[in-house]
């Protein structure tokens, strides 16, 4: 991208590339632009030699790698450029983005390498250059400076179970922009579960599930109505992570807890429903509680002065590396499977062929979904299915799937204004895999877990699985239809927001040590698929654990220290569809 022109009037000349990689050579005199354009785009991550000629009284000429690809006969006189500035690698003025986002002009820069830039006069220079044989220095994927393949960072493989502060690096120019040295957070699940959850500042810390194939997916975040002027307020518009932060709250062998705080903002950084008097506006805390079996509870707490207006919190967003197209991650014949709590299930592909873009409900009452990412392990979600109005004004859970014709460059929706993009733009369709991008295949709705005053809580279970949605029905029942539990004959309350039974150190169920007999009334409709027991005020693990009289050695124990005292957390990888008895020894 090279141009020489005045910033107060469109006179001069310009050599630049558009969003498809096509090369344009323009010349203007007295405000009238003339142009020649290459028929094809330049290859990604390769050297190309561009040669452009303006010959007064003759026309415009353009060549790539020594071959002429464009010519425009033109009797334009010479252009006076004595007082014009030369701009290299960026536009001198703000210009509209391509494909959708034309209402917010931005400065556009060239992301690449420029070498041996020559601007010269002379009638023979163009023909001489075309006669020189062009040899491309190296093939893509080699160590040529500036041509490295960019991969969204997810930290080291084979991370032990737990949450880890890790500084994630993308590529030097991107990393050097950030005005923060705080590390990111990565959750690992051990060698037997080779997938991760990544909270990275390049995506404003929105949690993403990364499969063993390196394919990414995000379950979205709080999104509000277009009340701030520039698009929907959401963390997707928080380009610099100014309104997002992530912290590890708990990290023991039994479980790990991460909280992501974010304010939904427009790209103009305005917060929705912000009080003129108090300045408080919408904010969201998303707490993720992960257990060693790879299952996570997602709890989103939203504070707002207007919880009756439209919002969205859950959508299947496939995040793509540079060089990836949606087709590299999604198989149109098998996009997702869903299941309902009564055992019904279905599988769907991208099958609205020939129709305009649209969405429609999947299986009625479905609250379980697996999204297939051409991986062995694929992301799943389980919505809380309690009664009450969901975001669509209907009762209970609902999953809508997308299909149809969305893009002229892909079978799927394909946009690159998020992630990573630093431009303050609302939305932009992608046409080349030259940058990180995303697509989307489904949106999920369910009733709030609770709604009290200006606070709303939403719940779901999430993780990765090698099965389909129907195979997750026992897990869903164990969470949403948890069996009753008693300790020494006293009932122990179950907390669905933690997927845990809470033994308090006060009242009738007081327990100063983790000891006694636990009975779990498991059944086919209220099964056990992993047990978490939290003993408040207890700072020591039991000496032994027996399940139905047999020694149990695969459990995990952790002590969480807090200002009000310790808590013992026990994780027992138990599965049962009939009553079991657990003996905790001293």
Question: Which helix (DSSP H) or strand (DSSP E) does residue 172 occupy?
Answer: helix 172-177
Q: What is the pLDDT of residues 65-101, one digit of tens each?
A: 999 999 998 877 666 666 678 888 888 888 887 766 6
Residue 319 CA to residue 297 CA, distance in Å, equals 21
Question: Average pLDDT in the 522-532 region?
Answer: 98
Question: Average pLDDT in the 475-490 region?
Answer: 97
Q: Which two tokens stand for residue 84?
A: 């014009």
Q: Return all residues near 267 (Cβ < 8 A) that are at least 6 apart.
A: 104, 230, 231, 237, 239, 424, 425, 426
Residue 145 has pLDDT above 50, yes or no: no
pLDDT computed for residue 82 by the predictor: 64
Residue 454 has pLDDT above 50, yes or no: yes
Q: Return all residues near 579 (Cβ < 8 A) that are at least 6 apart.
A: 519, 520, 521, 522, 523
pLDDT band at 392 (very low <50, low <70, confident <90, very high): very high
Q: Which two tokens stand for residue 522?
A: 């498991």
Q: What is the pLDDT of residues 312-328, one digit of tens each?
A: 999 999 999 999 999 99
Q: Do you know the residue count of the chain?
A: 586
Inter-CA distances, 353 with 349, 350, 411, Å: 10, 8, 10
Q: Which two tokens stand for residue 524?
A: 């086919």
Q: Which two tokens stand for residue 486?
A: 């008693």
* Beta-bridge partners for 265: 234
Q: What is the pLDDT of residues 321-366, one digit of tens each?
A: 999 999 999 999 999 999 999 999 999 999 766 677 788 899 999 9
DSSP strand pairing (580-585 vs 516-520): antiparallel
Q: What is the pLDDT of residues 224-274, one digit of tens each?
A: 998 888 889 999 999 999 999 999 999 999 999 999 999 999 999 999 999
- Whether residue 439 contacts residue 414, with contact meaning beta carbons closer than 8 Å, is answered with yes
Architecture of domain 162-472 in CATH?
A: Distorted Sandwich (2.70)
Residue 127 has pLDDT above 90, yes or no: no
- Whether the CA torsion 349, 352, 354, 355 is positive or negative: it is negative
Residue 479 has pLDDT above 90, yes or no: yes
Q: Where are the beta strands (DSSP E) in 65-108?
A: 67-73, 85-88
pLDDT band at 174 (very low <50, low <70, confident <90, very high): very high
Q: Tokens 């203007």: give the residue.
A: 28
pLDDT computed for residue 509 by the predictor: 43
The average confidence (pLDDT) of the chain is 91
- Whether residue 323 contacts residue 432, with contact meaning beta carbons closer than 8 Å, is answered with no
Q: What is the pLDDT of residues 192-231, one digit of tens each?
A: 999 999 999 999 999 999 999 999 999 999 999 988 888 8
pLDDT computed for residue 109 by the predictor: 86
List the one residue out of 213, 216, 236 whose CA is nearest residue 424.
236
pLDDT computed for residue 418 by the predictor: 93
Residue 166 CA to residue 418 CA, distance in Å, equals 22
């Amino acid at each position: 991208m090279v141009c020489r022109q005045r910033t107060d009037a469109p006179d001069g000349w310009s050599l630049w590339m558009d969003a498809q990689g096509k090369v344009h050579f323009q010349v203007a005199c007295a405000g009238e632009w003339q142009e020649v354009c290459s028929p094809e785009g330049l290859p990604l991550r390769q050297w190309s030699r561009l040669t452009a000629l303006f010959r007064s009284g003759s026309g415009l000429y353009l060549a790539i790698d020594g071959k002429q690809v464009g010519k425009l006969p033109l009797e334009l006189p010479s252009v006076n450029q004595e007082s014009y500035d030369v701009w290299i690698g960026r536009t001198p003025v703000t210009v509209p983005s391509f494909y959708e986002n034309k209402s917010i002009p931005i400065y556009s820069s060239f992301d690449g390498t420029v070498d041996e830039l020559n601007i010269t006069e002379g009638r023979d220079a163009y023909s001489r250059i075309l006669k020189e044989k062009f040899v491309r220095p190296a093939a893509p994927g080699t160590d040529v400076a500036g041509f490295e393949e960019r991969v969204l960072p997810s930290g080291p493989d084979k991370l032990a179970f737990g949450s880890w502060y890790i500084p994630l690096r993308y590529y030097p120019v991107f990393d050097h922009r950030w005005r923060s040295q705080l590390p990111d957070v990565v959750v690992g699940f051990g060698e037997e579960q080779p997938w991760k959850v990544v909270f990275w500042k390049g995506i404003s810390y929105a949690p993403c599930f990364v499969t063993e194939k390196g394919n990414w997916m995000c379950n979205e975040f709080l999104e509000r109505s277009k009340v701030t002027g520039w698009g929907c307020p959401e963390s997707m518009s928080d380009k610099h992570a100014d309104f997002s932060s992530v912290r590890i709250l708990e990290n023991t062998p039994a479980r790990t807890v991460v909280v992501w705080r974010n304010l939904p903002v427009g790209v103009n950084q305005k917060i929705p429903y912000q009080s003129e008097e108090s300045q408080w506006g919408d904010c969201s805390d998303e707490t993720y509680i992960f257990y060693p079996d790879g299952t996570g509870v997602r709890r989103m707490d939203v504070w707002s002065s207007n919880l009756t207006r439209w919002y969205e919190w859950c959508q299947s967003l496939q995040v793509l590396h540079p060089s990836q197209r949606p087709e590299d991650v999604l198989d149109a014949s098998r996009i997702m499977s869903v299941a309902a709590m009564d055992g019904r299930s279905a599988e769907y592909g991208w099958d609205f062929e020939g129709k305009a873009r649209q969405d429609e409900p999947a299986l009625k009452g479905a609250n379980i979904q697996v999204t297939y990412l051409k991986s062995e392990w694929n992301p799943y979600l389980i919505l809380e299915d309690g009664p009450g109005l969901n975001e669509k004004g209907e009762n209970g859970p609902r999953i809508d799937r997308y299909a149809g014709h969305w893009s002229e460059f892909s079978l799927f929706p394909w946009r690159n204004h998020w992630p990573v993009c630093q431009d303050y733009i609302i939305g932009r369709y992608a046409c080349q895999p030259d940058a990180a991008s995303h697509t989307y295949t489904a949106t999920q709705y369910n009733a709030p877990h609770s709604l009290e005053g200006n606070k709303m809580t939403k719940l779901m279970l999430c993780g990765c699985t090698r099965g389909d949605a129907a195979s997750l029905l026992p897990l869903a029942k164990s969470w949403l239809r948890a069996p009753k539990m008693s300790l020494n004959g006293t009932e122990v309350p179950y907390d669905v927001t933690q997927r845990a039974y809470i033994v308090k150190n006060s009242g009738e169920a007081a327990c100063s040590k983790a000891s006694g007999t636990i009975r779990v009334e498991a059944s086919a409709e209220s099964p056990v698929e992993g047990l978490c027991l939290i003993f408040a005020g207890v700072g020591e693990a039991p000496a032994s654990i027996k399940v139905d009289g047999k020694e149990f050695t695969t459990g995990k124990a952790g002590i969480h220290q807090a200002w009000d005292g310790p808590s013992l957390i026990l994780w027992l990888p138990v599965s049962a569809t009939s009553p079991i008895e657990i003996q905790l020894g001293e």
